[in-house]
Amino acid sequence: MNPFASNQSKVEPLVAPCLGRVENIFIKRDDLIHPIVSGNKWRKLKQHIAFAETQGKKHLVTFGGAYSNHMVAVACAAAVLGFKSSCFIRGDELQYQSNHYLRLAKLYGMDLIPTERTAYREGKKQLYETHFAHKPEAFFIDEGGAGELGIPGVSEIIAELDFIPNHIIHASATGTTAAGLLTGMEQNPEFKNTILHAVAVLKNTPEQQSKLEGLKLPVAFNVVTGFEFGGYAKSSKELMDFVSEFISQTGIIIDPVYTGKALFALKIKIETGEIKEHESVLFLHTGGTLGIFSDAFLSAVGN
């Protein structure tokens, strides 16, 4: 029924000299779950969609910024699974021609609803109520696939692993992916000595920290701060150069918004000895390939 449900992603050795070490680093390729949908967004959506199906819902309604991997993921999943889809887009000046994320969402058949920023900020539930409360087939999915239903799909990543790394590291924004990984670690007690490093890609470390502490799980984690590069989707020449170098050394596409920042943090943790030479590391590639096609990145490559 669900064409993505059985997609376990593979783990492979990660040989990238730019990380400062090539031994004992592995990468879980959730970027290969789907060429367009970020693996992480798919995992978070999985239970939302399963729940929508049990409720007989036929129309997925969600929210996102102009460069939202989640929006594209919902649009694609809806097209594959036979749902209608709509998305409130932050910014009433936007249209589908504005960028490649919006264009893809539109191609997948999503109805885009450009929304004035204040209204967007003031309440998604309110927007949903106004436009969809009277439509029994509609199903609310929060921005980014956040919420309780986002967690179980991600927790499956841990059960798929056939080795026990000392460290797991990944890009973190809302903390939902991190919450799923910690839940998986708690459910699989062999991971009791593994440490999760959730690298904050925007300046919201306290919120992420309290969200994860709130889970009250007996597993070790830290929200890694200092690798925001100025904030969400902000960047620097150093980061762009690192992303280019990594891609040229591995053939694996990463982006400057999410995975590039998390891998940069890994490089520094290796450099400073916080991650020790004999310790094994699993980097979770969360996807986000579309981020590589940003104008900022395209103009930086080759300079």
Q: Which residues bind ligand PLP (CB under 6 A)?
A: 38, 40-41, 69, 144, 171-177, 258-259, 286-288
Distances (CA, A) of 108 to 76, 282, 287: 6, 33, 19
For residue 191 the two structure tokens come to 């991971």
CB of 42 to ligand PLP, least distance (A): 10
Integer CA distances (angstroms), 73 to 67, 95, 287, 293, in order? 12, 18, 11, 17
Nearer to ligand PLP, 144 or 256 (CB): 144
Closest distance of CB 81 from ligand PLP, Å: 20
Q: Which residues are within 8 A (CB) of 161 and not within 5 positions of it... i.e. 6 or more apart?
A: 11, 28, 282
Closest CA to 18 of 285, 202, 196, 243: 243
CB 210 to ligand PLP: min, Å: 14
Shortest distance, CB of residue 236 to ligand PLP, whole angstroms?
A: 19
C-alpha 1/C-alpha 51 separation (Å) is: 14
* Residue 103 structure tokens: 């264009």
In our burial notation (b when 16+ CB lie closer than 10 A, e otherwise), range 127-149 reads bbeeebeeeeebbbbbbbbbbeb
> Which residue, judged by CB position, is nearest to ligand PLP in the bound state?
288
Rg (CA), the chain: 19
CB of 278 to ligand PLP, least distance (A): 28
Whichever of 202 and 270 has its CB closer to ligand PLP, that residue is 202
Number of neighbouring beta carbons within 10 Å of residue 123: 11
Q: Report in angstroms how near the CB of residue 69 gets to ligand PLP at its nearest.
A: 4
Q: Which of 266, 262, 264 is nearest to 281 (CA)?
A: 266
Nearer to ligand PLP, 171 or 247 (CB): 171
Identify the three-state secondary structure at position 91.
coil
Q: Which residue shows structure tokens 């730019």?
A: 18
For 110, the token pair is 């999503």
DSSP state of 18: G
Q: Which is nearer to ligand PLP, 69 or 85 (CB)?
A: 69
Query: Which residue, 38 or 85, is less far from ligand PLP as judged by CB?
Result: 38
Q: How far is the CB of 206 from ligand PLP (least distance, A)?
A: 15
Nearer to ligand PLP, 46 or 84 (CB): 46
What value, to the nearest 5°, has the Cα angle with vertex 24 and ends 21 and 30? 100
Distance in Å, CB of 296 to ligand PLP, minimum: 17
Q: Which is nearer to ligand PLP, 67 or 84 (CB)?
A: 67
Q: Which is nearer to ligand PLP, 91 or 147 (CB)?
A: 147
